[in-house]
Amino acid sequence: MIKCSGITHITLTVADISRSRQFYSQLFEVELGGGENYFNLNKADLSVFFTKWSKTKKGDRFDENRVGLDHVAFGVDSIDELKKAEKKLKEIKAKTVGIETCQYTGLPYICFRDPDNIQVEFYLNPKK
């Protein structure tokens, strides 16, 4: 068996890198890199890279019902931070229904969609 120490990064393919950078920079500190090819969320325990590959089909949209990624969840340390995220998401007109409770864990979270329809969540971190 291979012993892993965690996940080091996730890379999400997007249709328009500038549009995604503008969206995510309203929620996170972003670190630019690779010219116009990618950017990275900074100040997180996990690196999340966003890139546009040359073979990405024009007009393609994320669909969690296909094989592959279902969603990405970022941990927050308090319900107050979750409420702050909810306010910010509504302010930037992100598609969200607000704070919900996970049916599997009983923990609060807020789900939203990015410009490529990727489901993203802020989730109360159970380890805090």
Q: Enumerate domains of the chain plus CATH numbers.
A: 7-55 (3.10.180.10), 69-128 (3.10.180.10)
At residue 54, the pLDDT reads 65
pLDDT by residue (tens digit) across 53-85? 667 677 777 777 766 777 888 888 899 999 999
- Cα atoms in the 13 Å half-sphere on the side-chain side of 82: 20
- The closest of 128, 85, 123 to 104, measured between CA atoms, is 123
Q: What's the pLDDT band for 52 if we cut at 50, 70, 90?
A: confident
Q: Is the predicted pLDDT of residue 22 greater than 60, yes or no?
A: yes
Q: Is the predicted pLDDT of residue 34 greater than 60, yes or no?
A: no
pLDDT by residue (tens digit) across 89-104? 999 999 999 999 999 8
Strands (E) in 1-128, as ranges, are 9-13, 30-33, 38-41, 47-51, 72-76, 95-101, 108-113, 119-124
Residues in the chain: 128
Average per-residue pLDDT for the chain: 81
